[in-house]
Structure 1
Amino acid sequence: MSNLFAERSLHEIRFWSQIMKEHAFFLRLGFTSDQSRLIQEANQFYHMFENIEERAGAFAADTDHEAIARFNMEVYQATTRLWTYKRNVLGLILSCKIHAHLFPSFIDHISREAAYFMNRLEQLNRGMLDPLPDTVINENVFFLRLMADHAKFIAHMLDPSERNLISEATDLSYQFEQLLFQMVDLESMRPASQTAGILTRLLEEHREAMQNIHAFKQTIRELLDLCCLRGIIHPLFADHTYREANHFLELLGHLEASLTAGPEPSAK
């Protein structure tokens, strides 16, 4: 079981450390030239998570359990510092102490992702290798909101002349918000054991919606690569959101399995 603990931990860290590194990059792009201290901090976080990503890639799946647990906590602490930095930047923008080329909702979005990653690392060190049935609703609420956010951000980064793509992004945002509201409504109808059948049906709807937004994000990536898109979307941002869609599709498979199989044994 220790090997499975290392495998799950390293999989999460390899994915999310790259995401955190890119968050620092996006923040750095959004600051103005006179905000040198914030830019310097963003650079430090970029290199910090680049180092974590490289170290995670060097670990073997059969690494000692205690070594992986220590690494998880080290990454947790680094992510906590990044989360604090993001919230500080958000506070500076909302209080009009700085003006940056960053949507406040975007900074809140990337803060939520950091908090999710921190929580996942804690779960792994407690022996929770895969989501439990009772967490299926929470996991979907989190990722459905992320996907709705992505569609909004893309719509706002497209040139106003890209009417068809803006309309498609807006429709996707609405679709994911409706799915999100369905899950929030279901949240008060727990326990999950009594709503398993409903959850199974809803996850099928989520998979269909995910395939739609996945295809849309792939189109955005390809148009950027071909220099056929008008807007201010950075190619790395398009790829970033595409990879997060892949991650949610993978997670949906685990969530669907958890409804029938139940929780896995502890990692210890």
Structure 2
Amino acid sequence: MADQFVVRSLEEIRFWSRIMKEHSLFLKLGFNCDDTQLINEADRFYRVFEDIENRSHSYSADSDPQTIYEFNNIVHQAVCHIWAFKRKVLGLILHCKILGNNFPLLVDHVSREANYFMKRLEQLNTGTLDALPDAVINENVFFLRIMADHAKFINHLLDPSERKLVEQARDFSHDFDQLLFQAIDLDSMRPQSQTQPLLDQFVDQNRVSVRQLRDFKKTAHELIEACRIKSIIPPLLADHVFREASHFLEILDSFDHALTKAR
């Protein structure tokens, strides 16, 4: 169990610290040049999470659990601070105190991911990870919304003349909205909805859709890197959303394995 705690903690921190680092950069790029205080804050968070990411790779599965417990607490504090920064930026945008190129939904989106990371660190350090039936629903409600958001961002950042890709992104947005509503319905029917057949079907259906979106993002990233399509999507952002889809797919695969063993 101690080894599992160490491995799970390092996996979460390595993945999400890189995501938080990149969020800092994306927010910075979306500020106006005269928003110097916000730009400096974003730069500071970039350095903080770059250091956390680098430090996480200095540990291994053999590391002392108490050391990792303390590291989790340090990371948790940093994530709390970047969550507060993101919510502050969202407030400034919604109250028309700053302009720029950061969509309010994007800022809300990245703050939701910080909140997820915070809660995961808390669960790891208190040993209160969700039981499988709850985890299946909770993770899907969270990540399906993330995937739906990604499709909307891609749609709005592609050049309008890229009509086929815009249409594909719009279709993915609609599909993942529907999958999210279905997940929310399953959530509201708990615990009666947490039967093996329903959860099996739920995971199988979502895996198919996430795999299709992951492949679309992979193709988009390759086209953007090769300068073969017109957009204002930085290659790093395209890779960022691809990695998140791949991460969600790994979670769904693990659920499928666990549900199969539980039969």
* TM-score (norm. length: structure 2): 0.96
Partner residue of 2:75? 75
Partner residue of 1:244? 244
Determine if the alignment matches structure 1 residue 48 to structure 2 residue 42: no
Equivalent positions of 1:163-182 (< 5 A) are 163-182=163-182
Distance 2:117 2:234 in 1: 24
- Change in CA separation of 1:194 and 1:109 when aligned onto 2, cut-off 3 Å: closer
Segment drifting more, 131-140 vs 166-175 = 131-140
| Unpaired stretches in structure 2, ≥5 consecutive residues | none
One-letter identity of the residue aligned with 1:17: S
What are the superposed Cα offsets for residues 152-210 of structure 1, whole Å, 9 maximum, x if unpaired? 00000000100000000000111111111111111121116743311210111100001
* TM-score (norm. length: structure 1): 0.94
Distance 2:15 2:192 in 1: 28
Partner residue of 2:148? 148
TM-fit CA distance, 1:135: 2.5
Distance 1:18 1:209 in 2: 25
Greater relative contact order, per chain length (Cα 8 Å cut-off, separation 6+): 1
Distance 1:128 1:213 in 2: 31
Distance 2:79 2:242 in 1: 22
Partner residue of 2:34? 34
Aligned residues: 262
What are the superposed Cα offsets for residues 20-58 of structure 1, whole Å, 9 maximum, x if unpaired? 000000000001110000000000000000000000011
Partner residue of 2:101? 101
- Change in CA separation of 1:194 and 1:95 when aligned onto 2, cut-off 3 Å: closer
What are the superposed Cα offsets for residues 199-252 of structure 1, whole Å, 9 maximum, x if unpaired? 210111100001110110011111012110101001000000000011001111
TM-fit CA distance, 1:150: 0.3
State percent identity of aligned pairs.
56
Determine if the alignment matches structure 1 residue 158 to structure 2 residue 125: no
TM-fit CA distance, 1:261: 5.2
Partner residue of 1:57? 57
**Does the CA contact (< 8 Å) of 1:14 and 1:53 recur in 2?**
yes
One-letter identity of the residue aligned with 1:154: I
- Change in CA separation of 1:260 and 1:124 when aligned onto 2, cut-off 3 Å: farther
1:98 is paired with a residue whose SS is: coil
Determine if the alignment matches structure 1 residue 132 to structure 2 residue 132: yes
| Unpaired stretches in structure 1, ≥5 consecutive residues | 263-268
Distance 2:82 2:131 in 1: 25
One-letter identity of the residue aligned with 2:21: K
Distance 1:170 1:131 in 2: 34
TM-fit CA distance, 1:257: 3.5
